[in-house]
Each structure stands twice: as C-alpha cells, then as structure tokens.
Amino acid sequence: MAILALLMGLLATVVPCRGCPSELCRCSTRNVIVCSHRRLERVPHFARELDKLYEELDLSQNDIYAIPPYAFEDLLVKSIVLNNNPLIGISPRAFDGIEKNLAKVDLHSASLDVLHWGVFRKLHRLVELNLADNNLFALPMGLFAGTTGLVTLTFQGNKISILRRGTFRGLRNVRTLDLSDNRISVIEDDAFEDLRHLAVLNLKENILTTLNYRAISGLDSLEELYLDHNRLSDISPSPFSLLPSLITASLQANNLSSLHSQTFSGAPSLHHLYLDNNILQNISNNAFAGINRLQTLSLENNRVETLGDTCTPPGLKSLTTLKLADNPLDCSCRIGWIYGLILQTGAFVSGRCENPVQHKDVLLRQLNFTLCLVTNCT
C-alpha cells in the first residue's frame, strides 16, 4: 500500500498539464515546466500564454548546444534552469522578451567557454545567476551592465585568472559572490569597488600569492572573507583596513610563515579568524593589535612555539576560543597569559606542550602558571 501511495503521489506531481506550453515537456503541480532528461538538442517551441506565469522552466540534463535569439520570448517565467547541457554559445538576445519576470538563471555545468558581454544586459530583475563549473577563462567587461538587481552571483569552478577593475561595475546589490576554485592569481586594485553591499566573498582554491588592501578595497559591507587554499606567503600591513564590517576571515591552508605587527588592524568588527594549516612560526606580539572584538583565533597545524610575551597580546583579550593544536608549543611563562584567559573568561583552549620536557604532551589548558612571575600588564 505504501508503494502504491508513493506512485500515486509521483503521478500527481508531474503530469501532462492542460495548457502546458510545449508538447515536449510536462507541467508539475508546482507550476514548473519540466523538460529535463528529454535528450533535447535545442530549446523547444513554447506556445504563447499571455496570462500564465510559471515558477520555473527546467531544461537541465539535455543535449542543448545553443540558445538562439528570443528562445523564450513567448513565456512568462521566473526561473530558467539550463545546467548540464553541452552549450557552445548563448546569443546576446537569448533572453529578450522575458525580462519582466526572470529572476534566476542557472547555467552551472553547461560547458561554457565564453560569454558574450551582452547576454544578460536587459535582465533588470535578475536576482540570482549561477555559472559554476564551466570553462570560463575571463569575464568580459560589461557582462553585468543592466543586471543591477543581482544579489547572488556564482562562478565557482571555472578557469578565471584575473579580476580586472570594472568587471563588476553596477552590481551594487550583490550580497554573495563565489569565485572559489578558479585560477585567480591577480586582483587589480579596486576590482570590487562597486560591490558596496557585498557581505560574503569566497576566493577559496585559487592561486593568489599576495594580498594588499587595494585589491579588496571598497567592500564597506563585507562580513565574511574566505581565502583558504591559495598560495599566500605574505600579507601586506593592514590588508583589512578598509573592511570595517568584516566579522569572519579565513586564510587556512596557505603558505604564511609570519604575521607582522598590526597585520589585522583596521578590522574593528572582526570576531573569527582562521589561520590553520599554514607554516606560521613568527607571530609579532602586536600582530592582532587594533582588533577589539576577536572571539575565535584558530592556529592549528602550524609551527607556533609561543604566542605573546607574558602579557595578553593586544587584540586577544576577548577570546572565547583559542585553537593551538598540532603546534610545537613551548609552555614557558611566556604563554602564562593563556591560563589567566581561561580563568577570567572560561575560554576554550586546545593544544599540547612540546617543551619543556616535563610538560611534553600535557594539554595546555591543564597547566597551572601561577608560579610564573607576572609583570605589570596594565
């Protein structure tokens, strides 16, 4: 009986719909035109329906190789899904005629090598654009001209190597930009200058070797920055000085060996900082100076022997989590301030001692530093 009920439910969900605009597709009870997995080589013809607004047109998992001009002009639809098609090209007039309602375009895994600069130029109401897992080498200037309503933009898994100034011109409403898993090695100064409302920037898994403040300037509203799995070997002084809203910064799995004085100054809102899986050994006592609200500092799997100089380093007095596991820690009185931090705030601290010999493999949070000579740290 349970199997029969399940089959009945499936049949009720996707059935040939009376008035469905194409004989090659089906219409679901969710007001979706389902044309996926049909081995279609081109966009089917859709009958004109003047007053019927569809939630989605699903053309995924087909063999469509091109989107011609006016391919959807007779449809009223909010979302078009074209992922997993072997697309060679999209006409710059492909979406002409449906600008009024189109809010989402999904083109991930569509084999695209290049985009004409005018493809999206009339889509003023577009909110979400997904171009992940294609073969795009570059983003043409003017690609986003007219798409002023975009909020979410995804380019994860392409082959983009350079971000040029002006590429994102006009995108003042974008909140999330995903550029992870590309080949980005160069970010020109002020490349993100128009993204005044951007909250999340994902640059993971690229090949950046340096980071300077001009490359990420203009991001006044940025709250989350992800730079994991790049090749960063050095951070210029105060690279986050123009990011007043930054809450989370993640630079895991890079080649960082040192943190200079005031590296993170200018980011007054920073709460969470992740620096795991680098080769950090030399950390200036003032590296975190200028941060007043840092709650999480994660330095796991580095080469850190000591942190601070007897007194709590500037910027670390508000810590609730300090992760130092997999470091050759020297548990001398120089890190006695960590004991005080645990007593005062109840902070979670991880890590084991490497030296001195009598403390080897002892958990850092289990040590008692009350016998250390405490200097005046006021």
C-alpha distances in Å from residue 280, one per residue of 8, 88, 301, 321, 362: 60, 46, 9, 19, 22
Given a cut of 60, whether residue 9 has pLDDT beyond it is no
Q: Give the mean pLDDT of 268-280.
A: 96
Q: 17-26, 223-232, 294-303 — which is least confidently predicted?
A: 17-26
Q: What is the pLDDT of residue 378?
A: 56
Q: Give the mean pLDDT of 88-98.
A: 95
Q: What is the pLDDT of residue 17?
A: 46
Given a cut of 90, whether residue 305 has pLDDT beyond it is yes
Q: What is the pLDDT of residue 104?
A: 98
Any bridge partners for residue 99, and if so which? Answer: none
Helix (H) or strand (E) holding 89: strand 89-90
- Ordered by start, the domain boundaries in the chain are 20-111, 235-241+251-378
pLDDT confidence tier of residue 310, bands split at 50, 70 and 90: confident
Q: What is the pLDDT of residue 235?
A: 84
Domains 20-111 and 235-241+251-378 share a fold: yes
Identify the residue with better confidence: 227 or 261: 227
pLDDT confidence tier of residue 266, bands split at 50, 70 and 90: confident
Give tens-digit pLDDT for 281-292.
999 988 998 888
Average pLDDT, the chain: 90
CATH of domain 235-241+251-378: 3.80.10.10
> Counting beta carbons within 10 angstroms of the beta carbon of residue 370, is it exposed (0 to 12), middle (13 to 18) or buried (19 or more)?
exposed
pLDDT confidence tier of residue 223, bands split at 50, 70 and 90: very high
Q: The CATH number of 20-111 is which of 3.80.10.10, 1.10.10.10, 3.40.50.1360, 3.30.565.10?
A: 3.80.10.10
Given a cut of 60, whether residue 11 has pLDDT beyond it is no
- How many Cβ atoms are within 10 Å of 3's Cβ, its own excluded? 7
